[in-house]
Every structure is written in C-alpha cells, then in structure tokens.
Amino acid sequence: MPLMLLDLDNTLVDRDAAFRAAVLDFLAAYGLASADADWLMGVDEGGYAARQDVAAAMIRRYGDMVPGAAVQGLLRDGGADRVVLTEPVREALTTARADGWTRVIVSNGRTAQQEAKIRTSGLDRIVDGWAVSEAIGSKKPEPEIFRAAAAAVGVPLEGAWVIGDSPHADIAGAHALGLRSAWVSYGRDWTYEGCRPTHVALDAAAAIGHVLALSEA
C-alpha cells in the first residue's frame, strides 16, 4: 500500500489560528493588551521555538502580572482544544483512504498536546496512525521519525510522499531520505536552500489531491 506521511501543525490543522485564539483569551483574562498577541506569535515561531524560551520571554515581559503556572498552562495546552479539521482536508484524506493510501501523521511536539489535537479534530478516526517526536525520541527532519512512522503501520518507507508546511522539517527530511514531497506553501515563496519540494501546493487538500492524481495517472 502506498504511504502518505503528513505533518499536523499548520498542514492538516491550523495550529497558529488555534494558538492565537488561546493567546487572546489568556491576554484578556489578565487584562493585557490584545495587541500583544502579535508579539507572542512572533516569539512562538509557529511552535518551533523551545517552550522554555517562550515561557522565559513571557515572564520577562509580564513579571508579576501573570502567574507562572498560567504561562505554563498556556504553553502546555497550546490551543489543542481549538483546532479544527476543515472539510476539504477531511474529504481529501477520506478519498486517499478509499484509493488505498496509508496515511500517517508525523509531528514534532509533545505527545499529550499533539494527540489532543489529533483527537479534538477527529483525525484519529481518519488516519491510520501517527508518530510524535517526544514519543519517538527523534524529530523532523531526522530520518528516524519518518522510519518510525512507516514501521508503526507496517508499510515500507520507499515510495512514500511527505506533505508538510515546513521547508526544514518536512521537505528537507523527505529529501534526505530520497522521498517525494509536497510543500504546503499558503502562498509563500520557496527560499530554503539545499533542496526543493517535488510539488508546491497552496494548502493540504490541494497537496493530497495532487498526490492522488499522480497515482491515478
């Protein structure tokens, strides 16, 4: 069976929108300026910044205005209860299953938070499995996490497609393993040096659709 390795955050679900919503509620709860959401989103770097660094930046900025436990709670949950799976992505994944593809999520992050997103969005009822870096002990772009994802569903890694929004984590990881890749660009230009994706798509639904179309050609 062909294998599709899918990034979670900002690919299958809009992680940044969910985190921003959680941030805005956090700021409102402590009487802080809503404009600080832009600052915190920048510090967060789309979830790639180390959580301890984000926490330290928040504590420096807010001091005694915000309890440390509240900061840790925001970063621990990360808006996981707010993620939404759009209908186009749901339909694309369902079509992939009908076409015989094995679909596995490969995600960097903490196991509890990423699995909460998978279940909240309903992805646990659609995909065939997932591999999260904390549980695996390896993170993208390291090859071990991709190999672990394939092993989890008993499908060979050879011939797999990697679909994701991160040039350095998803596309470079695929390139290092000799796998084909679809970069979810959201209209961005490709600026990463060292490799290029096999295909560029505007969003995850389009990326999945492209892979399915190629398999039917």
Residue 137's closest CA among 166, 118, 111?
111
Q: Which amino acid is at 98?
A: A
What are the domain boundaries of the chain? 3-14+83-216, 15-81
Could you give the CA distance from residue 95 to residue 103 in angstroms, rounded to a whole number? 11
| Assigned architecture for domain 3-14+83-216 | 3-Layer(aba) Sandwich (3.40)
Residues 6+ positions from 90 with CB-CB distance below 8 Å: 122, 126
Tens-digit pLDDT profile for the chain (217 aa)? 899 999 999 999 999 999 999 999 999 999 999 999 999 999 999 998 999 999 999 999 999 999 999 999 999 999 999 999 999 999 999 999 999 999 999 999 999 999 999 999 999 999 999 999 999 999 999 999 999 999 999 999 999 999 999 999 999 999 999 999 999 999 999 999 989 999 999 999 999 999 999 987 6
Rounded distance, CA 46 to CA 63, Å?
24
Tell me the two tokens of residue 75: 């970063």
